[in-house]
Amino acid sequence: MRQPTRTALDSLLHRLLDRWHDVLSLPRQSPPTWYRARLLEELRELRSATTTLSRLSETADVFFSISRARYDGFPVRRLPPFSLARHSAPMVYMVAKYTLRWGFYRTAARLCGAKEWKGVREVINPAKDLKLGEVSARHSIDPDKFRNTGRMLRRVWPLLP
């Protein structure tokens, strides 16, 4: 059986990532320099990662920054040519990590009775109460109720570092 070419794999990966970003439907960031700054921050964190799990997580964050910027129309860098051996784990981790966060916030908003819970499209790390407060403010959800719901949900929701 013939193996797919590298460009075919890359093309497939980009189509799959575009579909995933369609589902997440994250708001565009402004100004456009936000994307570059985010990538540089993630690259710094990747360089300082010391454990296998932290390197995997930070690599996933770098891939996310690159793919999101490209999807939003502000390509800051290309993803490396896809290699099953080197990139499968970070890509799977990335999709799981950010999809779980996205689902966490939508579920918390729904549990709080937010009428526009489907409009909650966030992927920042919900591990800190401060982040819960930021999200509740952006979506006009009662901050105390959202923070308490988020705290309860964190006990049972699978979140990846």
Q: What is the pLDDT of residue 112?
A: 98
Mapped to the 3 state alphabet, what secondary structure does 116-138 carry? CHHHCCCCCCCCCHHHHHHHHHH
Q: What's this model's pTM, rounded to 2 decimal places?
A: 0.93
pLDDT confidence of residue 79? 94
**40-60 confidence digits (pLDDT tens):** 999 999 999 999 999 999 999
Segments of the chain scoring below 70 in pLDDT:
1-6
Specify the pLDDT at position 2.
54
Task: Retrieve residue 137's tokens.
Answer: 């403010």
Helix H or strand E segment including 65: helix 52-71
Q: Give the pLDDT score at 77.
A: 95
List b or e across 115-132, with b for residues whose CB sees 16 or more CB atoms inside 10 angstroms.
eebeebebbeebeeeebb
Q: How much is the pLDDT for 9?
A: 87
